Amino acid sequence: MKRFMLAATLAFAASSVSATVLNFDDLAGGTEQVPFGYGGFDWQAGSTNLGAIGEGFHPGSGYDNGTVSPGNTIFNYYGTSGAKINWLGTDTFTFNGAYLTAAWDSTQNVSFAGFNDGVQIFTSSSYTINNQTPLWISLDWAGIDSIQIFNNGSHWALDDFTFNGTTDVPETSSLMLLGLGLLGLGLTRRRKAA
């Protein structure tokens, strides 16, 4: 019985913490906007629009070199700083990280801010990215509903946007039913043993 309860607990915990990776490879990859709701986010939330671009669209550029999972990356239209990405869920999410590459500049600096209900709760360091090799930026910010990306150069390419949505915690009634079921199994086993 104890083994069953432990296995059930571990299976539930494992299912509730797996990360989602958005690689944008299922988008068309011209230079069109990332659609509203893609992966559960609003990609046009700030003053900067975000678009999907195919890795071969500009051969040899940071778009090409920065495509980690073959197909597409996303980029900031017009090279504007301050791209904002809003979570459309009813609660918060954890932003684990993403790969970033400078599209045209040999190097540029990027930084991030994390928000919850319009209040900035996280600020990152400045990261130097180049147009040859993607840089994994790991933040692991929990409890946010939007992030903003700032840059001091031109366009950047972003791939493998990795996050955890709000952990799906069962309702109290579901937990009570599970507990009663386990209690019933335990009592039945105890009676058979007696």
Please name every residue paired with 87 in a beta bridge, in sequence order, or none if there are none. Answer: 41
CATH architecture type of domain 20-166:
Sandwich (2.60)
Q: What is the pTM of this model?
A: 0.77
Phi and psi at residue 47, to the nearest 5°: -80, -5
pLDDT, position 16: 46
pLDDT tens sequence for the chain (194 residues): 444 443 444 344 444 468 999 999 999 888 889 999 999 999 998 778 999 999 999 999 999 999 999 899 999 999 999 999 999 999 999 999 999 999 999 999 999 999 999 999 999 999 999 999 999 999 999 999 999 999 999 999 999 999 998 644 444 444 444 454 555 555 555 555 66
Please report, as a single letter, which amino acid is at residue 111.
S
Query: Is residue 51 within 8 Å of residue 33, measured between CB atoms?
Result: yes
One DSSP character per residue, 131-180 reads SSS-EEEEEEEEEESEEEEEESSS-EEEEEEEEE----PPPHHHHHHHHH
Query: Is residue 76 within 8 Å of residue 52, measured between CB atoms?
Result: no
SS3 133: coil
**55: Cβ–Cβ under 8 A, 6 or more apart, which residues?**
29, 63, 64, 67, 70, 71, 72, 73
Tell me the C-alpha distance between 112 and 96, whole Å: 12
Tokens 């109290």 belong to residue: 172
Q: What angle do CA 164, 150, 100 make, to 5 degrees?
A: 60
Query: Is residue 110 within 8 Å of residue 103, measured between CB atoms?
Result: no
**Domain regions of the chain by residue span:** 1-17+170-194, 20-166
